[in-house]
A and B are shown apart, each in its own frame.
Chain A
Amino acid sequence: MINIDIGATAIAILTLFGIYSLMAISLNLEYGIAGVPNFGQALFVSIGAYTAGITYTRVLPLLAGLDSVHPCGPTMGQALQLRSEIMAAQPAAGFINLALTLLVAAIVSGAVGFTVSYVTLRLKEEWFLALVLLVGGETVRIVVRGADNLICSHNGISGVAQPFYFLGDARSSSLMFMILCVALALIAYAYSQRLTRSPFGRMLKALRENEDVTRGLGKGISLARAQIMLIGSAIAAVGGVLFALNTGFVNTNDFVVNLTLDIWVMVVLGGIGNNRGALLGAALIAILDRFTQVAAITLNMSGSEIEFNYVRFIAFGIILLLMLRYRPGGLLPESPLTTNAHEVLRRARGAEPLSRRA
């Protein structure tokens, strides 16, 4: 048996929770609120991770005032040592690089999300976009995998250190990183809530409820949906950057269709159309993930032949089926939309009893 460190487990789960939350909130905005079935979520997450892979190997040394070393091929080890040294000794360069990475990732991913959706939605309905994104995500992955110089093809880039590596102590550095992840997730949540309860959110939900009628009431569909794809894709890419920093590894194998399905499970489990549900779904999947990891390692060390990691996929399948059969709205179903208009009115009119209801 291995000893389970409760503190480290909690930090790991909360870190995953923060990262998964960003991905789930993004998909919930796109599909839950606006009804755009994004089956290419892995693509937008991967854009974040690839960006991190590129900036941490090319930009970070420049920020530290050093020459960059080509990260692939024979100089691979030298480049790894260089960025580890910088992350340990020059926290300022690390933080500037992180900020830059998040910004570039969000902009690139948002631009891709907007452009692909706008062009596609003008041509065909939203399920065609779902297909384009599904295939597009895999295509991009294969192209990146084949490129020798981007993130070193199938080798990937390892040693993408967390921004708090300079603290030296592994526990405090992962604790700080956990706080960063959870904080970014909560900011994304607060932002999404404000967006959902604004006239923009009202329009998106109206489009989801009845496209034709909403168009007849003067709303342009493709633009509004492309706009939410821009926002959602940017948030997913932020999740992708943190994902790469958390594993310390950027590899195309992490961004197969499975990742997209994981994010869908989170949203379906938590509650489609409910931002709080996205947080809950992310939390439950983070716990399940950690549990299966620990179980798999424990079983391996006890010499068992069972590959427990596969149990995860079986569990996800069962969860998805049970939810869709017995609780299609998720654990926290979407509540009726009440926009900020009601509060505005209440404030303006005082406690005037307009309504029959309490």
Chain B
Amino acid sequence: MPLLELANLRKDFGGLRAVDDVSLTVPEGAIIGLIGPNGSGKSTLIDLIAGSTDLTAGKVKFDGEDISDLPANAVFHKGIARGYQEPTLYFKMTVLDNLLLPVKDQRGEHPWHAPRWRSWQQEEQTHAEAALEVLRQVQLLPHYDTLASDLSGGQMKLLEIARALMGKPKLLLLDEPTAGVAPKLAYDIFQQIARLRDDHGITLLIVEHRLEILFDFVDYVYVMHLGNLLASGSAAEISAHATVREVYFGD
């Protein structure tokens, strides 16, 4: 059984059909690439899976459960976390607080317990230690008490991924994880991403424009064009696909 299953997904924005009858599956433990020219509906598809946008028609099945109508916060609790194309950190908070925010079921988030610090400090310490461990993995540990706004562009991207991890997701949706990052660092980011799968068993669905890097890491690629699924296959197959080359590279 695939971890994620999209069946005939459709999304209309007024008269515009951004996603048109897309069906695809993501097997557990895989790294799946989602590519396509600008405006092909990739980001909308991510929004639909994550519950950030309501779908017009179709079905999203995750872990055997229909999550089509769940709001974004409920989808997160089911085990799907996402990153964004633009940096969406809480810039006025420290790196540590950015990481602690998404932790699920925090006692200190309840207004009754919140002012009684002793009731949640122990728990907070456990979460903070876990956050440091995640920071160590993405090599941001020395920055744990830095303001998020003081990080470099690449560090922000890493922090965003690290933040999503704090919710212990089974599936991580990433929308251009290397956008605006230097090529060398972009490769590093993908190595970190690959390690999430290898060390933590996290399944990944990645939208990415840097195909030369993406193709080194993915198990399977879906290509979107004008809201439709144009092709799918291994990285090698997609590279050689005539129609894909035509719409994507203009060959």
Contacts and interface: CB of A to CB of B under 8 A. Distances in A.
Q: State whether these chains interact.
A: yes
Interface of A: 191, 194-195, 198-203, 205-206, 209-210, 212-221, 224, 227-228, 230-231, 334, 336-342, 344-345, 348, 354-357
B71 A215 contact: yes
Interface string B67-84: 000011100110001101
B90 A206 contact: yes
Contact of B84 (A191, A213, A357): A213
B97 A338 contact: yes
A231 B112 CA distance: 10
A216 B52 contact: yes
Given A341-B124, A342-B145, A214 B101 contact: yes
Contacts of B58: none
Given A341-B97, A345-B125, A199 B120 contact: yes
A205 to B, nearest CB: 7
A198 B128 contact: no
B147 A217 contact: no
B121 interface: yes
Contact of B73 (A198, A218, A334): A218
B245 interface: no
Given A199-B124, A213-B88, A215-B71, 8 more contacts: A202-B100, A210-B88, A216-B76, A218-B77, A218-B102, A218-B104, A220-B73, A348-B128
A224 B52 CA distance: 18
Interface in B114-145: 114-117, 120-121, 124-125, 127-129, 132, 141-145
B174 to A, nearest CB: 13
B128 A341 contact: yes
Contacts of B167: 217-218
A338 B132 CA distance: 16
A217 B167 CA distance: 8
B93 A336 contact: yes
A198 B97 contact: no
B234 interface: no
11 contacts: A194-B114, A195-B111, A198-B115, A199-B120, A203-B101, A206-B101, A209-B93, A220-B73, A354-B132, A354-B144, A355-B145
A303 to B, nearest CB: 54
A344 to B, nearest CB: 5
Given A214-B101, A218-B102, A339-B97, A199 B108 contact: yes
B144 A344 contact: no
B106 interface: yes
B92 interface: yes
Nearest to A191: B115
Nearest to A348: B125
Contacts of B101: 202-203, 206, 214, 217, 219
A188 to B, nearest CB: 11
Given A215-B72, A220-B73, A231-B111, A202 B142 contact: no
Given A199-B114, A218-B104, A210 B109 contact: no
B96 interface: yes
Contact of A194 (B88, B96, B106, B115): B115
A231 B110 CA distance: 12
Contacts of B127: 341
Contacts of A191: 115
B146 interface: yes
Contacts of B92: 205, 209, 334, 336-337
B140 to A, nearest CB: 11
Contact of B96 (A217, A342, A357): A342
Contacts of A224: 109
B111 A357 contact: no
A263 to B, nearest CB: 22
B9 interface: no
Interface in B190-204: none
B94 interface: yes
B163 interface: yes
B117 A200 contact: no
Contacts of B31: none
B50 interface: yes
Query: Which of A215, A220, A228, A355 has its CB near the most chain B CB atoms (within 10 A)?
Result: A215
B111 to A, nearest CB: 5
Contacts of B91: 209
Nearest to A213: B88
Contact of B72 (A216, A230, A357): A216
A283 to B, nearest CB: 24
A214 B167 CA distance: 12
Given A216-B52, A217-B101, A357-B146, A210 B76 contact: no
A337 B108 contact: no
A195 B90 contact: no
Contacts of B111: 195, 200, 227-228, 230-231
A200 B100 CA distance: 11
A198 B142 CA distance: 23
Contact of B90 (A200, A205, A215): A205
Query: Which of A199, A202, A221 has its CB near the most chain B CB atoms (within 10 A)?
Result: A199
Contact of B109 (A203, A209, A341): A203
A202 B145 contact: no
A213 B121 CA distance: 26
A356 B144 CA distance: 9
